[in-house]
Chains A and B, each alone.
Chain A
């Protein structure tokens, strides 16, 4: 399997105009094609910061370290170019855009990616056929296509809309930031099915989540826990339940390194068994 994303010793923070406030402090993560990685961690641990840094958001500044996507550094690449090259971010808080219909944005996004790949742009009819197909799988009402982007959408509709975008854009690397939070059980099911359907041998998925419940539906290959700006602990899918039981304090206090670990779990950087480094 080839390495899709490689993050090495990443230091990054928020630039408030005067200085960069450090948030990520030496983060390593490697995602290979075909893998699903869950990144968990308490509120404020820097999960969204990681997502924004990967998507290239202004003000989320990298102070040192490397981010390689497909072997190339992402650091000097504009966000729209990252997107066209196949990096997708599903937002924790999807943004409302007044006056722009949802279908208009979707079509513009799909065509920007197609143009980048040298493919012909889809016309309105072809696009409508494509989007209708995906809408049905997401259990979304067609009326949502004609409303302004995310405006007046319920929490669940916004999250489904993110997954719809992912399904249409077919990214190579998808970063889903708490797509599960704020969903009722039925919506969670649909969203999880949507994510599950995206699993493919040539695609990598990073599932950022606060809770373990999404991971009952989308069973990740690896789970990482973010604490103090680094991956403090990595393990297999069973780590989710362990965390659920013990709480994040268990990781934040640095306990698992000393204590007996659940099988497959190991502190980051100590063993290589479950923190794959690019090979």
Chain B
């Protein structure tokens, strides 16, 4: 007999709501990687010569590298020859110029995902660049932003329309030699977003990129490059989803941010790639390099991320604090459920005087999830009077999951002030039953506990995305209540 109550293990089984596949005709290059494939990608995109040269240099360098093994995540070897490096929904040779030219099927896909592409969404005040598999399909508000001198476009367009800007900044924060996956990305990246805010301009709306992997056996390698010129401000949001598939898919993106003197960039991510099923089958390998550089004095870069998806997440959004008085911030919620693994954190590299950084990391593990925080705070000799505050909290739901923290600190300047705090709390049947006995359903209890745990990070997100992130966490932890 027994009462029909709550089973934590069942409860944290999850559903993935964006797991549908859109049947579209696509232009996909055969799987495999060699110089010809790279030339083909570059040609399909009509790129100038400097771009192809850079890709080839990266590729040749990549051949000399080996896949890193130092993170705590585990996965079978990736066969780089089994991946297709370019897939685009078939349409005209040139990318669509306006929404009318975009395949209606594609628009419906984004509608399902809740991405405001259509003009009627103007009022939402979010400009969106949507990347579907390898190409950018629509950039809204382009004209309106252009009035302010803001460039917000697909990476492919930027390469052709603003080659001097791209050439000047591309790879200046994350050189192709940086790491294995960044190098691969540099060779084969297919599209992404480009954004330039001119001096003294405050971007009046959130800029947003929406990434979606649709085609089978493809990798997604997008690049984002954002430059805030002197005294400029921009807030940028990135969202991602993918269909459910049994095979793993690779996503190796690179994001570079450059903040010049007195500029500020706020970069927020809600990452919800397909995490794989309950038994750990399928899901996205999310191996991403994100780095920002406060290149001028008084610059400020903040990364806010809510990571709920992917089978494996491996990313360390970092800030190089080169300018004096510059500020770097990292606010993160990373959730792992079922068999998901996350090895994420940040690097704060203090080079300038009076530089400050804040790290607030909230790891949630449920099911058999593994969550690792890995962070580096580095203070160079030149960084007089540098300060860092790090707080690392872990929340464990159930008793099968695990959390680890690896804080690395390297201080070359004795005047640096470094503080580190860490907590771990486990939520089990006790807490849930306590809430239930007060009239809350198990779902509401988990949502309450998780939101309470994450609220300091959520408050860093733009309002509408904070709501989205809360919902996402709810869904990611949702399951059947016996």
Given A105-B438, A112-B440: A95 touches B5 (CB 8 Å cut-off) = no
Q: B444 to chain A: which residues have CB within 8 Å?
A: 108, 112
A205 at the interface (CB under 8 A from B): no
B433 at the interface (CB under 8 A from A): yes
Q: Say yes or no: A95 contacts B438, CB within 8 Å.
A: no
Q: Say yes or no: A80 contacts B439, CB within 8 Å.
A: yes
Within 8 A of B (CB), among A237-266: none
Given A58-B429, A99-B452: A116 touches B4 (CB 8 Å cut-off) = no
Q: Say yes or no: B449 contacts A97, CB within 8 Å.
A: yes
Most buried by B among A61, A79, A94, A97: A79
Bound CA span A78–B436, Å: 8
Listed stretches A83-91, A135-143, A186-194; interface member: A83-91
Write the nearest CB–CB distance from A195 to chain B, whole angstroms. Answer: 18
Of B7, B435, B453, which contacts A99 at CB under 8 A?
A: B453
Of B423, B427, B440, B453, which contacts A80 at CB under 8 A?
A: B440
Q: Say yes or no: A15 contacts B439, CB within 8 Å.
A: no
Q: Say yes or no: B437 contacts A79, CB within 8 Å.
A: yes
Q: For B456, give the chain A residue with the smallest CB separation.
A: A99
Within 8 A of B (CB), among A46-81: 55-59, 61-64, 74-80
Bound CA span A193–B204, Å: 59
Q: Say yes or no: A61 contacts B1, CB within 8 Å.
A: yes
Bound CA span A152–B440, Å: 23
Most buried by B among A91, A99, A116: A99
Q: B2 to chain A: which residues have CB within 8 Å?
A: 15, 58-59, 61-62
Q: B433 to chain A: which residues have CB within 8 Å?
A: 55, 57-58, 79, 95
A109 at the interface (CB under 8 A from B): yes
Q: Say yes or no: B449 contacts A78, CB within 8 Å.
A: no
Write the nearest CB–CB distance from B101 to chain A, whole angstroms. Answer: 48
Q: Mark A90-117, 1 if CB is under 8 A from B, else 0.
A: 0100111111110011001100110010
Write the nearest CB–CB distance from A141 to chain B, whole angstroms. Answer: 21
Within 8 A of A (CB), among B421-458: 423, 425, 427, 429-431, 433-442, 444, 448-449, 452-453, 455
Number of interface residues of B (CB under 8 A): 30
Q: Say yes or no: B429 contacts A98, CB within 8 Å.
A: no
Q: Chain A: interface secondary structure?
A: mixed
Given A58-B6, A76-B4, A78-B5: A83 touches B436 (CB 8 Å cut-off) = yes
Q: Mark B81-110, 1 if CB is under 8 A from A, else 0.
A: 000000000000000000000000000000
Bound CA span A109–B441, Å: 10
Bound CA span A82–B448, Å: 20
Q: Say yes or no: B438 contacts A62, CB within 8 Å.
A: no
Write the nearest CB–CB distance from A135 to chain B, whole angstroms. Answer: 17
Q: A59 to chain B: which residues have CB within 8 Å?
A: 2, 429
Q: Say yes or no: B437 contacts A83, CB within 8 Å.
A: yes
Q: Say yes or no: A75 contacts B3, CB within 8 Å.
A: yes
Q: B452 to chain A: which residues have CB within 8 Å?
A: 97-101, 104, 148
A169 at the interface (CB under 8 A from B): yes
Q: B427 to chain A: which residues have CB within 8 Å?
A: 97-98
Of A15, A74, A95, which contacts B434 at CB under 8 A?
A: A95
Q: For B441, give the chain A residue with the smallest CB separation.
A: A80
Q: Say yes or no: B5 contacts A105, CB within 8 Å.
A: no
Within 8 A of B (CB), among A184-232: none
Write the nearest CB–CB distance from A193 to chain B, whole angstroms. Answer: 23
Given A58-B433, A79-B433, A95-B430: A109 touches B3 (CB 8 Å cut-off) = no
Bound CA span A112–B1, Å: 27
B348 at the interface (CB under 8 A from A): no
Bound CA span A262–B30, Å: 93
Q: A89 to chain B: which residues have CB within 8 Å?
A: 437
A274 at the interface (CB under 8 A from B): no
Within 8 A of A (CB), among B23-76: none
Bound CA span A55–B3, Å: 10
Bound CA span A205–B76, Å: 60
Q: A91 to chain B: which residues have CB within 8 Å?
A: 434, 437
Q: For B3, give the chain A residue with the smallest CB separation.
A: A56
Q: B6 to chain A: which residues have CB within 8 Å?
A: 58, 78-79
Bound CA span A65–B299, Å: 71
A165 at the interface (CB under 8 A from B): yes
Most buried by A among B4, B6, B436, B439: B439
Within 8 A of A (CB), among B1-21: 1-7
Write the nearest CB–CB distance from B398 to chain A, whole angstroms. Answer: 13
Q: For B433, give the chain A residue with the smallest CB separation.
A: A57
Q: Say yes or no: B4 contacts A108, CB within 8 Å.
A: no
Most buried by A among B427, B440, B453: B440
Q: A100 to chain B: which residues have CB within 8 Å?
A: 448-449, 452
B395 at the interface (CB under 8 A from A): yes
Given A99-B453, A108-B444: A56 touches B5 (CB 8 Å cut-off) = yes
A to B CB contacts below 8 Å, 8 in the list: A55-B437, A62-B2, A78-B5, A80-B440, A84-B439, A89-B437, A98-B452, A112-B439
Interface residues of A (CB under 8 A from B): 15, 55-59, 61-64, 74-80, 82-84, 88-89, 91, 94-101, 104-105, 108-109, 112-113, 116, 148, 165, 169
Which 9 A-B pairs rank lowest in CB-CB distance, beginning with the nearest?
A112-B439, A99-B452, A109-B438, A58-B5, A83-B439, A95-B434, A100-B452, A99-B453, A61-B2
